[in-house]
Structure 1
């Protein structure tokens, strides 16, 4: 088992280099915030449009099918499961009413074909409210997770921190430590593969010992896992100390000294086109959404 390759979300795709990779990280961050803010207080139709836009964007970027299936397959299954559960459960409007007239007097022709209950076949019962609620929750889960995942998939960690530092530059006037924040974010992003590597090594060490968990029982199994967690924390603290010593040796005594610029950010033609597309996007959001 290789956690560094089998992790279903949050990995950076180095190759092939798509046109999404070439966009400025600041532009992609603005579009990410647009996809995260656009579903707020909007109707179900607009949320379905946003889901379609993300899928079309993925197809246009020509991301490999193996990555697309690994990144989106489980998320689509989760969204469909949430939609079915929400649509089939009671909608919360469990108001019981008793007619004041006889049933024979209530059988009047309806002026329209409107019906609050869409499906009433035991045990299936779907109303307009439960259907709308299912669409809202499932699309919100898909948009929040996949838009962020697509951003991480096509943006290197150093580009993310460089873009954030540039966008947060005006906050220096309020004496906010922008450089310290971005440096901490860079180190945390670089530390994630080390955590996965330590977890992977511990799991492999347990598998090689062929422990019979049934004979151990629940109490002894918990004791073994507590030892594993303790060893994991010890290894991670040792790795963090090694990184700190290495930074001090190389002169990283403060964030403003011995700084390394990984990327020179500059907007090109494609970036300006992507920024221009925000205007019709938000116009459609306020008119249709």
Structure 2
């Protein structure tokens, strides 16, 4: 079990370097915010188009199959389960669909609903797509137009929000992310906000994530090598053991933090403004301007065709 290699979410892909890696992080951040905002108040067709666009970007970037198969596979499975549950769940409308009946009959009857004459439907519109009664342990399955619409909206929203963020982290180094955010937050210095300190804190946080995974991995391996019989321990003693493991994990993480602080102190690091380390020199190139220009027709199509009816 290697968490640093098997965990599919939130890892940076160093090799191979795709065209997404060469895009400026500020431009990729603008596209990320676009994918996060565009599904809001959009119709189901537009949401499905965003899912297809994300898949097309992944395939065009030639990201290795071993990478995006883990990421997209679990996410597609989760969204499929959400879609299935939302389809068969109640749609929230207490409306019963009934066939059209005339208000008069050729012969007078006591109950107009018992009139044998019915008007044919002028169109092929159906509110209920599937209505299967329950049998034994199988509950009744009803799929309506509204429940299907809700299922498409929720499942595509989950996929778009999670996968677009994951694709951004997959093709952008942590130092590029913090450098881009620091450059975009420069106007906040007029309000006396510590922009450099915020960027440094974000950089250290992103670099600290692999250390956390490494400590968890080492503790899990140490428990597995001891071949503990959890059935004999029982629930209470197992809980106490996991509390000891959690305490050891917290102790190791605090020790790692102290070592990082000591290393920065020994090197004379006092503040980010006086000891500024520039990992990446941000400069917009032709491919970045092209990616920004594509945003204009994208949002034009969003407001023209993607709005709710």
Could you tell me the TM-score, scaled by structure 1's length?
Answer: 0.97
Counterpart of 1:19 in 2: which secondary structure? coil
Instruction: Determine the C-alpha separation between the residues in 2 that align with 1:226 and 1:199.
Output: 14
- Structure 1 residues 195-210: aligned runs within 5 Å: 195-210=212-227
Instruction: Determine the C-alpha separation between the residues in 2 that align with 1:275 and 1:97.
Output: 48
Instruction: Determine the C-alpha separation between the residues in 2 that align with 1:115 and 1:8.
Output: 42
The residue that corresponds to 2:271 in the other structure is 254
The residue that corresponds to 2:153 in the other structure is 136
Instruction: Determine the C-alpha separation between the residues in 2 that align with 1:170 and 1:105.
Output: 74
Instruction: Determine the C-alpha separation between the residues in 2 that align with 1:108 and 1:96.
Output: 18
**Which structure has the highest helix share of the two?**
1
The residue that corresponds to 2:107 in the other structure is none
The answer to whether 1:161 aligns with 2:178 is: yes
The answer to whether 1:236 aligns with 2:246 is: no
Q: 1:270 aligns with which of 283, 287, 299?
A: 287
Counterpart of 2:21 in 1: which secondary structure? helix
The structural deviation recorded for 1:183 is 0.5
Q: How many residues align?
A: 289
Report the aligned-residue RMSD: 1.4
The structural deviation recorded for 1:105 is 5.1
- Greater C-alpha radius of gyration: 2
The answer to whether 1:109 aligns with 2:120 is: yes
Q: 1:285 aligns with which of 285, 293, 302?
A: 302
Instruction: Determine the C-alpha separation between the residues in 2 that align with 1:137 and 1:18.
Output: 31
**Is the contact between residue 97 and residue 127 of structure 2 (CA under 8 Å) also seen in structure 1?**
no
Unaligned runs of 5+ in 1: none
The answer to whether 1:78 aligns with 2:95 is: no
Deviations 1:117-172 (A, max 9, x none): 11122333110000000000000000000000000000000000000000111111
Moved more, 247-256 or 278-287: 247-256
The residue that corresponds to 1:179 in the other structure is 196
The residue that corresponds to 1:90 in the other structure is 90
Q: 2:205 aligns with which of 183, 188, 199?
A: 188
Unaligned runs of 5+ in 2: 102-110, 134-139
**Is the contact between residue 180 and residue 255 of structure 1 (CA under 8 Å) also seen in structure 2?**
yes
The residue that corresponds to 1:40 in the other structure is 40
Deviations 1:165-222 (A, max 9, x none): 0011111111111111110000000000000000000000000100000000000000
The residue that corresponds to 1:11 in the other structure is 11
Q: 1:152 aligns with which of 165, 169, 178?
A: 169
Instruction: Determine the C-alpha separation between the residues in 2 that align with 1:96 and 1:131.
Output: 17
Counterpart of 1:120 in 2: which secondary structure? strand
